[in-house]
Structure 1
Amino acid sequence: MDPNQMKKNFSFVLLSFLALFCASCSDVDNDIASRENQNTANAITKTVVTLNNGDQREYIVYIPSTYDETNESPLLFQLHGSSGDGEKYYTISGWNELAEIHNLIVVYPTSYSYDLKLNGCGNDLVTKWNNYNLPKEVCPSEVLRDDTSFFNQIIDELVDEYSIDTSRIYMAGFSNGSGMTSRLAVELSDRIAAIGGLAGFFPEDTIYAPKRILPVHIMLGTTDEKIASRTIFNDTIPMSFQQLFLDPTLRGITQTYVKTFDLNPNYTVTDSTEHTLTATFQGNSGSPEHLMKFTLWKDLGHFFPNPDDRPGAADVLWEFFEFYDN
């Protein structure tokens, strides 16, 4: 396909026809088309392939059956973790069900793939978002992609195609994708209403300069093996912020958010449930929209929960997001 043609705002095809053009991805596309029928008959799922800074990039869009072009819909992004892709979180996150209830257009982008030091340079490539932690993880030969530009482009393409409330654009993520939402809260905060994520954060003891200070919700499972192993707790993080902040890593990560978003370091414990404990940090401006929530999930490992019997991560994040606009 001519690259100039690929740059047009909407390239592209319903998944039910994509198999005609992409034999290598036909099985995945047919699976998505099948799930479309299992959701709501009038809902639409599309895969969009676009060109960003010379790279072919992809994202999945879920348009709910409630979509009405005469009314503006909120736009929500779900960012996958390391080695994941948009297809995975289309399947497991629970956002499509919330899209039907709240008339959300939901986007599931896929990151670029890199050669990582952890795997030994020259071995398998792994999908990774270019969050603030990635530069120290990739092999020397790798050229990092500008994912902030990619998200900016996705927003532009979807705003051209659909009736979207541009004051209500939200970024949710998991693990490496959660860390990317924090980067976007700095570099794309002029377009985003709020961000939130689970199991991925800023680097510790750093300060960034956001274009605009926006509401933030970070979350962590107490038995997240990838994060707990980096702390003094080894395998289980306590369900106590007083104890949690005894750990230098978790304290340093939190301080990055406090300093970056001009928050009061004195927090209050709020919105707790049988399964979660939340600390709320108010902003120094005193504005009710200037805040950060930090939620601990009891006995949650390194995954994005979507249980049948109680609210999952998507539910908790949407309950936070829906009150804010840009």
Structure 2
Amino acid sequence: MKKILVTGSAGFIGFHLTKALLERGDTVIGYDNINDYYDVNLKYGRLNELGIKKDKVKEHQLASSELYPNFRFVKADLCDREYLNQLFKENKFDYVINLAAQAGVRYSVENPQAYLDANVQGFLNILEACRHYPVKHLVYASSSSVYGSNTQMPFSVHHHTDHPLSLYAATKKSNEMMAHTYSHLFNIATTGIRFFTVYGSWGRPDMALFLFAEAIRKGEKIKVFNHGEMERDFTYVGDIVNGVMAALDKPATSNKEFDTNIPDAGSSNAPYRLYNIGNNQPVKLMDYIEALEKAMGKKAKKEFLPMQPGDVQKTYADVKDLINDFNYHPNTPLEKGIGKFVEWFIAYKDSKLK
């Protein structure tokens, strides 16, 4: 049993991870500001699945789950440093998983300040809390977007990532650099996980799969950017969760073979590691859409558009380190993962329409 703080626990990945941790017997405190970047009812729906009723959610008040006796949830912002430190002091966490962030590449072009507040200041507050109230391991979400204009495929954590194409990517890169600094200065074990295009049930409504499914259901056009000439390493959320849990259970250690003359980008002589979690099998966007059409039993009307600012044409994860260190490899077939999403999506929409 572990006592774990999961930030962003009302979010897409945070919800699934929290549920998996609870079901294996860990004690979890969930932390989320439930902002209105997208429909808050979806966030409350996830919390309801974890036994937290909407009317029990109060600012700075821990609510107990009706389904999991080992789960409590609090509505709070990572920028609230005073409350965050109080929570650390009172609960003496063994582990911290930081998934709270302002998400979205395209939104970062229009609202940069939100990304600095949540992704940089919020993460600094987490690092400071882990410094003053020591934990065994801090695992945090990074992103495939840090690879930016890199074209060498597959993307490896041992490649340098110095050319981000969006502020979102830059904030995720900064998280990795900040974590390394705290690992070096204060011997905090930190592991950054670069997620590759996550999809699945309870997904965000601003993500492609949800948007496509909603448009197909309504008979509306789907927006296909870069005229469909995109490839993504689509990764099922269950595979992401299993990878994060594997990393959590094995705190980062220093690389004994680290050479400061030829520094490895994915490790350090400090207790610091980076990992990709991707399906290791890029899929063409048009094939992704075709799999969704098949699962929904309906063809999509398509509007082909140019590439959007901040987007990259292709992502492809090298997961050798994940396999070597944890004997784990994401392996959910695309058709199976999309099928599970569609099953949830239809049930969710039907329940909202009643």
TM-score range, shorter chain: 0.3 to 0.5
Instruction: Name the structure with the higher helix share.
Output: 2
Between the two structures, name the one with larger relative contact order (CA 8 Å, sep ≥ 6).
Answer: 2
User: TM-score, structure 1 length as denominator?
Assistant: 0.35
Instruction: Name the structure with the higher strand share.
Output: 1
